[in-house]
């Protein structure tokens, strides 16, 4: 039978995942309690239905897809409904959290009798015929999430620990989003020092692929920076046994917090990045 899947919340990734499932005949539920009109429209456009917590607890799967700082609170919110439900859905935490936080979420869900699966999403939201992101899953019940492959989700089960998926996500995001933080910080520093033109010339000569990545990624980064603060903090926890690495990602969290504040106000740093990358586009 076609499963019922709850996707919380209908942000950019959640709504796109919901649309992918709905387009393949899945009844997709979500929660719009306290959400904005824009979010409600995004969910409706994606074919997602607003549902109560009790209705969501009767689904076959609950996919938690939201900013990492909200992962624990969402799990705690659903404990009463999940404990009371006879359906016992598989609770799949798809957030960018480190293995320690995964263990905390799993411990919250355990008394409800629901299976828990750790998952990490790598790749952009699914669009049209594109394959979409990879959903790496780990844990004893991870094989159950493979059922969603036939409904358009690229689910890949990992061997190893119950939090192997989050360990992969932390490692991957630490490289990709860490690189964006370093690149943006150095571009802004070069502009303050008056060496932007020289930096651009050298990047075009010796780092063409890296510059192309920055041109693709950094213009979109300021609008997403607020979500990456907690993610960098989670990565700092992941590398916590290495004090220097932890300091690196604590610094990246502070950097993204500043960029996020700038994006909400003057947009001075976002404009500076656009200016530098605009020159890169013109000189290609």
Segments making up each domain of the chain, as ranges: 4-161, 167-282
Predicted confidence at residue 222, as pLDDT, reads 97
- The pLDDT value recorded for residue 280 is 64
Length of the chain as a residue count = 284
Q: For the domain made up of 167-282, give the CATH fold.
A: 1.10.1040
At residue 129, the pLDDT reads: 86
**What local confidence, expressed as pLDDT, does residue 279 receive?**
75
With 0.85 as the threshold, say if the pTM is over it.
yes
* φ, ψ for residue 224, nearest 5 deg: -105, -5
Please, are residues 65 and 17 in contact by the beta-carbon 8 Å criterion?
yes
Contact between 118 and 93 under an 8 Å Cβ cutoff? The reply is yes
Q: Residue 33 CB: number of other CB atoms within 10 A?
A: 10
pLDDT at 130: 87
CA–CA gap between residue 102 and residue 133 (Å, rounded): 20
**Rounded to 10 degrees, what is the CA torsion of 179, 93, 167, 122?**
-40
DSSP strand pairing (116-122 vs 134-138): antiparallel
How many CA atoms within 13 Å lie on the side-chain side of 252? 28
Specify whether the CB–CB gap between 259 and 270 falls below 8 A.
yes
Q: What is the CATH number of domain 4-161?
A: 3.40.50.720
Quick check: 58 and 87 in contact, CB under 8 A?
yes
| Spans of the chain, pLDDT less than 70 | 280-284
């Amino acid at each position: 039978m076609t499963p019922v899947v709850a996707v919380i919340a209908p942000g950019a990734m959640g709504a796109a995942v919901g649309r992918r499932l709905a387009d393949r005949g899945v009844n997709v539920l979500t929660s719009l309690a306290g959400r904005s009109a824009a979010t409600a429209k995004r969910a409706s456009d994606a074919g997602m239905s607003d549902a109560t917590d009790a209705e969501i607890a009767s689904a076959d799967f609950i996919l938690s897809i939201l900013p990492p700082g909200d992962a624990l609170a969402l799990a705690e919110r659903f404990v009463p409904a999940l404990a009371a439900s006879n359906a016992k859905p598989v609770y799949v935490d798809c957030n960018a959290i480190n293995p320690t936080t995964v263990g905390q979420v799993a411990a919250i869900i355990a008394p409800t009798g629901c299976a828990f699966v750790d998952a990490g999403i790598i790749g952009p939201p699914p669009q049209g015929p594109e394959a979409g992101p990879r959903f790496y899953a780990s844990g004893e019940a991870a094989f159950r999430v493979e059922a969603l492959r036939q409904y358009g989700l690229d689910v890949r089960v990992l061997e190893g620990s119950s939090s192997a998926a989050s360990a992969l996500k932390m490692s991957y995001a630490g490289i990709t989003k860490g690189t964006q933080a370093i690149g943006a910080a150095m571009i802004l520093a070069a502009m303050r020092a008056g060496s932007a033109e020289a930096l651009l010339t050298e990047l075009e000569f010796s780092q063409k692929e890296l510059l192309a990545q920055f041109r693709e990624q950094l213009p979109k980064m300021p609008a997403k920076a607020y979500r990456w603060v907690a993610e960098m903090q989670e990565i700092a926890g992941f590398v916590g046994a290495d004090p220097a690495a932890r300091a690196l990602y604590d610094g990246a969290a502070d950097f993204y917090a500043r960029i996020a504040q700038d994006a909400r106000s003057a947009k001075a740093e976002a404009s500076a990045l656009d200016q530098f990358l605009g020159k890169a586009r013109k000189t290609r």
